[in-house]
Amino acid sequence: MKFRNVSTVAVAVAAALTMAACSGTSGGTSSAGSDGKSFEFWSFTGINQKQSVTQYQQKKPDVQVKLTEVGNAQETAQALTTALAGGKVPDLVLIQGDDLPKFVQQPQNFVDLRTLGADKMKGDYLDWVISQAVTKDGTIIGIPTDVGGMAIAYRTDLFKAAGLPTDREEVAKLWPTWDAFIETGKKYTAATDKAFIDNAATGVFSQVVNQGSEKYYDPAGNAVYDRSPQVKLAFDLGIKAVTAGITAKQSSFTDGWSAAMKKGDYAAVAAPSWMLGSIRDNAPDTKGKWDIATIPGGAGNWGGSYLAIPARAKNPKAAWDYIATNLSPQGLLEHFLDAGSLPPTPSVYKDPKLTSVKDPFFSDAPIGTIYTDSLLGLKPFLIGPDSVAIGTEFLNAITNVEQGKGDPAKAWDAALANIKTAIGG
């Protein structure tokens, strides 16, 4: 997802949503009434939520879904926070996993989904995924939509031109570790005089930090971002990628990043499962020139979202039917086949429909097995209420060094100082 300071933008978005709600023109297919069938749905951008809505309406043609894509994930979370404080809430809202903990601390603002049937579905999901949406007293405020198993997408044509192997198994052997990944980048850059990866912040740091069993919080909920070995390792590797000169200095999801991807200005990009759609959308003419290899270290998860129903929703039963239909194991499998979102339901991981999937855009890579394998052996970490703010400052510090605005030797201390300011600790 796109990381940046969103407070001012989100307030403006929330205000616009309030005005649209009053006028009945916030977008989507139709206005949501209180007939028990129609409902209003807030999502964030960049994930093609319209496709999920279309799939649902094909099954339930008499249901009208008023979909509003609020902004990026953080903007949507901030707009929801504003609405929960007294504004008009949607019937259904998509919340990114990193933003979920602060809402879990406010269960009174959401429908306890156990009252609608979540208890019967709870066992369908990976334990470490569904547990993020469960409060201490057992209240379930959200149902997971996907997980973000990780891999590396790379351009086979550019690798070949640099004298590197192109077969995905041989490529994976180039980087059993992140240090080896950076060394591969140096070889590529030396051979081509071009950048190897898009950026160091999301291209390296965000991957490594999501591969450990402890991230910014320990299992007891204590903030440990300043002394977590995994966080420090991830940060140091991010800085190492910058100083190695292998990055294109293009922050993910910016216009420059998209343009550079189209032109082949970098050869590899960190690709959690949800990233594949962005690559297809931003560089459609590169179909067949990409492949996917195992990520250094083998396992990891970056991302995932949840659907929740605010307590003041006018149409909670209609919203719940959407959840129960789309987020069942079969519904999630169908969505994976259509859109590539990795299901959080392990019962489908051995389904031939999933294991046989080969993506022609990525040289017929077996994405079903590559991404589910990346979740095997994963020791999940706790996500805390300030995980987004903490992560943003680490990313900013690495980006500042990459853009020539920060000192590599002082970047860690600068990040810690900025985090303390951001979270008040």
Q: What's the pTM value of the predicted model, to 2 decimals? A: 0.87
CATH class of 152-300+359-423: alpha beta
Q: For residue 316, what is the DSSP state?
A: H
What is the model's pLDDT at position 425? 66
Which residue carries 């009208």 as its tokens? 64
Burial class (CB in 10 A: 0-12, 13-18, 19+), 66: buried
Looking at the domain 7-147+303-348, which fold is it? D-Maltodextrin-Binding Protein; domain 2 (3.40.190)
Domains 7-147+303-348 and 152-300+359-423 share a fold: yes
Burial class (CB in 10 A: 0-12, 13-18, 19+), 206: buried
What is the four-CA torsion angle of 132, 121, 76, 257, rounded to 10 degrees?
A: 80
Q: Which two tokens stand for residue 43?
A: 């999502």
292 SS3 class: strand
CA dihedral sign, ordered 239, 245, 246, 247: positive
In angstroms, the CA 332 to CA 275 distance is: 17
The residues pairing with 94 across neighbouring beta strands, listed in sequence order, are: 307
The residues pairing with 134 across neighbouring beta strands, listed in sequence order, are: 140
What is the model's pLDDT at position 378? 82
What is the model's pLDDT at position 30? 37
Q: Which two tokens stand for residue 53?
A: 């809505």
**Do residues 199 and 248 lie in contact, with contact meaning Cβ atoms separated by under 8 Å?**
yes
Q: Which two tokens stand for residue 152?
A: 């590396």
What is the model's pLDDT at position 106? 95
In angstroms, the CA 123 to CA 16 distance is: 39
What is the model's pLDDT at position 324? 96
pLDDT < 70 positions in the chain: 1-36, 425
- CA–CA–CA angle 228, 378, 181 (5° rounding): 70
> E strand or H helix at 337, and its extent?
helix 329-339
Strands across the sheet with 92-96, in order? 65-69, 39-43, 92-96, 305-308, 143-144
Rg (CA), the chain: 21
What is the model's pLDDT at position 219? 92
In angstroms, the CA 368 to CA 333 distance is: 10
Q: Please report, for the chain, the start and end positions of each structural domain, with discontinuous segments joined by +.
A: 7-147+303-348, 152-300+359-423
Task: For 245-268, give the DSSP string.
Answer: T-B----TTSHHHHHHHHHTSEEE
What is the model's pLDDT at position 18? 42
Q: Which two tokens stand for residue 421?
A: 């300011």
Q: For residue 366, what is the DSSP state?
A: -
Q: Which among 160, 164, 161, 158 has a CA at the least distance from the CA of 181?
A: 164
